[in-house]
Amino acid sequence: MASDTLDLGRVRLVHRGAYSASTVYEFFDCVTYNGSSYLCTAAAGSPAGTLPTVTATWALLAQKGDTGAKGTRQRPPSARPIRRNRRRSPSSP
């Protein structure tokens, strides 16, 4: 039996951090830009200087949301004191 191999190329996203205009991006590279996340969808990649907002080479993954109201702060469950049942000594008659 022949041992042929099949090149699948990139099969997972590669997070490249914050967008840089001086970087050439490849297919399936992900970047953050102005609070949103983008995916390079062009098979040939994205030339340096192509903003992630250009839909011919990039797709929006997650858009930055609005700032919400400030909530109340609570202690995480792991920081709360543990209450243990204490053994009581038998009462004397």
Q: How would residue 31 be classed by pLDDT, with cut points 50, 70 and 90?
A: very high
Q: With 70 as the cut, is the pLDDT of residue 90 above it?
A: no
Q: What is the pTM of this model?
A: 0.65
Contacts 24+ apart (CB under 8 A), 46-54: 48/21, 48/22, 48/23, 48/24, 49/21, 49/22, 50/25, 51/19, 51/21, 52/19
CB 40 within 8 A of CB 54: no
Per-residue pLDDT at 80:
62
SS3 for 77? helix
Q: With 80 as the cut, is the pLDDT of residue 60 above it?
A: yes
Say which residues have a Cβ less than 8 Å from residue 9's Cβ, sequence separation at least 6. 27
How long is the chain? 93
